[in-house]
Structure 1
Amino acid sequence: MTAKSPHAPIEELVSVRDWLRYAVTSMTRAGLSYGHGTTNAVDEAAYLILATLDLPIDDINPWLDCRLTLAERESIDAVIAKRIETRKPAAYITNSAYIQGHKFYVDERVIVPRSFIGELLVQDQLAAIVPDPLAVQRVLDLCTGSGCLAILAAEAFPNARVDASDISADALAVAKRNIDAYGLDKRVRLFKADLFEGLPAATYDLIISNPPYVTAEAVAAFPPEYQAEPTLAHLGGEDGMDLVRKILDGAPDRLSPAGSLIVEIGAGQDALEASRPGLPFLWLDSETSQGEVFALLANDLK
């Protein structure tokens, strides 16, 4: 059953603080699920309010005591009601998602960006395996979705040309919009491809991928927020590692001799290591993840 949004007493809620409290209460009572940029009702409500008011999304505190016009209150009420009634992720309602301060356009054609690889690219340019970012000449982003990782890679490795691919034509349309918005259309090329099949003949200094890695059982149990995303972007087979293993099989022919492979796999570490016991996986932990992103060198794969 779809949760019903209570009618907001617009005349009584006059400040940002009032609307934050109201939104948190309403969203909590509706039993919403989170995980698309926020993890709780307070942060999600703050994001929706700030985005609706075109304010910086990093901190609501400076604005809490600001009074709102009637039109602003009506807009916030509509957004909160839409979040509750549709159970769509907030990013689809605002058509925007953020990774490390970088804003990307998103809609229902792509999964909401939330990759830990993006965090690593921005924070240290994958320093654990890429000692000299300026030496990286060619990068491949498999399963690019919204194009966010291709864009962050282009920024992290300023001398590199980036190829980005996806099996979904809809996703590639969204990726093009983001690449154009960042002015990277001359450095980032898009390809419709099934992993490596359909790509031009080339080898890469770095291959990155945030592929579908959710188990079939988990996908079947998704709450509405996750069901709103393309199933194709989540489903990774019985143990979640079907596409990851295909990437491992195809990567050796696509990596330069000193190249590296970086893949995000969610909670699949045990399943992957059990299926490929001979590979020396290096796990790249970040501030918000542990054991969810691995690295392998070209020599490791051969």
Structure 2
Amino acid sequence: MSQDHDQDIHDHADEHAHEHEHEDHHGPLAELVTLRDWLRYAVTRFNRAGCYYGHGLQDAYDEAVYLLLHTLSLPLDRLEPFLDACIPGDERVELLDVIEKRATERLPAAYITGEAWLGDFRFNVDKRVIIPRSYFAELLEEGFAPWINDPEEVQLAMDMCTGSGCLAILMAHAFPNAHIVAVDISQDALDVAAANVAAYGLEDRITLVKSDGFSNVPQQRFDFILSNPPYVTQESMDNLPSEYLHEPGIALGSGEDGLDLVRQLLKDAPNYLAEDGLIAIEVGHNRDLVEAAFPHLAPTWLSTEQAEDKIFLLDAFQLQS
């Protein structure tokens, strides 16, 4: 390494130090006193940076509230009592660092905090897995009624493309007598899933399987298979907001129309479904693409309070006909 390069690094470090000295007197570290001040600053910073919100939080305000409360180790559902609390200097440094990570690096909030939530369920996440977000979460709160009449009768269920293991864990709670097989092609993802499964004490009820689709899944007949597979079209992959570029691409895109894996799953599923079994697949905004790709199928499109026609449902007979 050249002396000139060493000097450049030294000069840059001096500049960085001077910047912080300046901030100590005139910047946010000095001028932002209360949590209310920091919340206003964070929202403005995120808006001006053009941050994108598609990982469970709705807008700059929601993301700022979550990041600030988490960083300060405050209850995530109690903002009001703390709005006018004064923030000590060391905590201001932490807040500024988190805000800048979100605004400058365009890191999704979940990768900054190392956690994501689906309803009341918390999951550990990092860049080895996509951030949990699925319309299945709402449906599983009700035991997937009315399509599953009695959740207690489900004995064997599958979460295909489990990622962090979040849906497998929700299934274990929704179907109290079921064993869950959670499948993913990525060993990194399965390592994250294993930690989450252990955190919920479900090692005896959830089996993790490394497999490309059904290829390495032992032959079994499942009462219920759900999948939130990669389904982003190539055009959308080419134009993803920066936040999504931190996620593993293999968990997002699946061919030109986003349905390459869906095709394989529907082809193989009849070999794994029980006689009266069901399979449900989440495809986001791709209903038109699904109907164009599978004109012979007549799936039931499911709706939740949050969205319509993002998940389709088929029974074993439909797949065989």
TM-score > 0.5, shorter chain as reference:
yes
Structure 1 alignment gaps of length 5 or more: 1-5
Output the CA distance in 1 between the equivalents of 2:75 and 2:145: 30
Q: Who is 2:160 aligned against?
A: 142
Deviation at 1:236, TM superposition (A): 1.7
Q: Is the counterpart of residue 267 in structure 1 residue 303 in structure 2?
A: no
Of 226, 235, 242, 2:253 maps to 235
Root-mean-square deviation (Å): 1.3
Q: Is the counterpart of residue 195 in structure 1 residue 205 in structure 2?
A: no
Of 284, 291, 294, 2:302 maps to 284
Output the CA distance in 2 between the equivalents of 1:275 and 1:15: 55
Q: Who is 1:82 aligned against?
A: 101
Deviation at 1:191, TM superposition (A): 0.6
Cα-to-partner distance string for 1:100-143 (whole Å, 9 max, x where unaligned): 12110000000000011122112x11102101000000011110
Output the CA distance in 2 between the equivalents of 1:280 and 1:49: 47
Structure with higher RCO (Cα < 8 A, 6+ apart) = 1
Q: Secondary structure at the match of 1:82?
A: helix
Output the CA distance in 1 between the equivalents of 2:179 and 2:89: 49
Q: Who is 1:20 aligned against?
A: 39
Q: Who is 2:204 aligned against?
A: 186
Using the aligned pairs only, state the percent identity: 49
Q: Is the counterpart of residue 110 in structure 1 residue 129 in structure 2?
A: yes
Amino acid at match of 1:10: L
Q: Who is 2:86 aligned against?
A: 67
Q: Is the counterpart of residue 161 in structure 1 residue 195 in structure 2?
A: no
Q: Secondary structure at the match of 2:208?
A: strand
Output the CA distance in 2 between the equivalents of 1:289 and 1:66: 38
Deviation at 1:78, TM superposition (A): 1.1
Q: Is the counterpart of residue 299 in structure 1 residue 317 in structure 2?
A: yes
Amino acid at match of 2:315: L
Deviation at 1:55, TM superposition (A): 2.2
Q: Who is 1:40 aligned against?
A: 59
Of 10, 13, 29, 1:10 maps to 29
Amino acid at match of 2:232: V
Q: Who is 1:246 aligned against?
A: 264
Output the CA distance in 1 between the equivalents of 2:83 and 2:108: 24
Q: Secondary structure at the match of 1:73?
A: helix
Amino acid at match of 1:53: L
Q: Who is 1:95 aligned against?
A: 114
Deviation at 1:59, TM superposition (A): 4.6
Higher deviation after alignment, 21-30 or 277-286: 277-286
Name which one, 1 or 2, has greater alpha-carbon Rg: 2
**TM-score normalised to structure 2 length:** 0.89
Q: Who is 2:76 aligned against?
A: 57
Report the CA distance shift for 1:146/1:295 in structure 2 as closer, same or farther (over 3 A): same
Q: Who is 2:235 aligned against?
A: 217
**TM-score normalised to structure 1 length:** 0.95
Q: Secondary structure at the match of 1:244?
A: helix
Output the CA distance in 1 between the equivalents of 2:270 and 2:128: 31
Q: Who is 1:3 aligned against?
A: none
Output the CA distance in 2 between the equivalents of 1:95 and 1:225: 15
Q: Secondary structure at the match of 1:10?
A: helix
Report the CA distance shift for 1:300/1:53 in structure 2 as closer, same or farther (over 3 A): same
Output the CA distance in 2 between the equivalents of 1:231 and 1:23: 29
